[in-house]
Amino acid sequence: MTKINLRVKAVIFDMDGVITNTMPDHFKAWKAVLEPYGVQVTHYDVYSREGQRGINSIKEFFCEKKKVCTPQIIQELLHQKEQLFKKIVKRRFIPVARRFIKWLHQNHFKLALVTGTSRHELPRTLPDYIYKLFDVVVTGSDVTNGKPDPEPFLLALNKLKIKAQDAVVIENAPFGIRAAKAAGIKCLAIATSLREKFLKEADYIFSDMKTLRRKVNFILKDNKK
Could you report the per-residue pLDDT of 158-169, keeping only the tens digit for each?
999 999 999 999
**Residue 169, SS3 per DSSP:** strand
Please confirm, yes or no, whether 135 is among the known catalytic residues: no
Half-sphere exposure of 212 (CA within 13 A, CB side): 28
Arithmetic mean of pLDDT over the chain: 94
Query: Residue 59: is its pLDDT beyond 90?
Result: yes
Distance of CA 58 to the CA centre of its chain: 18
CATH code for the structural domain at 4-21+92-220 = 3.40.50.1000
pLDDT of 194 strictly over 80: yes
Question: Domain 23-88 adopts which CATH fold?
Answer: DNA polymerase; domain 1 (1.10.150)
Coil vs helix vs strand at 67 = coil
Q: What percent of the chain has pLDDT over 90?
A: 86
Exposed, middle or buried, 19 (CB in 10 Å: 0-12/13-18/19+)? Answer: buried
Domain ranges within the chain, ordered by starting residue: 4-21+92-220, 23-88
Q: What does residue 211 show for φ and ψ, rounded to 5 degrees?
A: -65, -40
Is pTM beyond 0.85 here? yes
Q: How far apart are CA 14 and CA 22, in angstroms?
A: 12
4-21+92-220 with 23-88: one CATH topology?
no
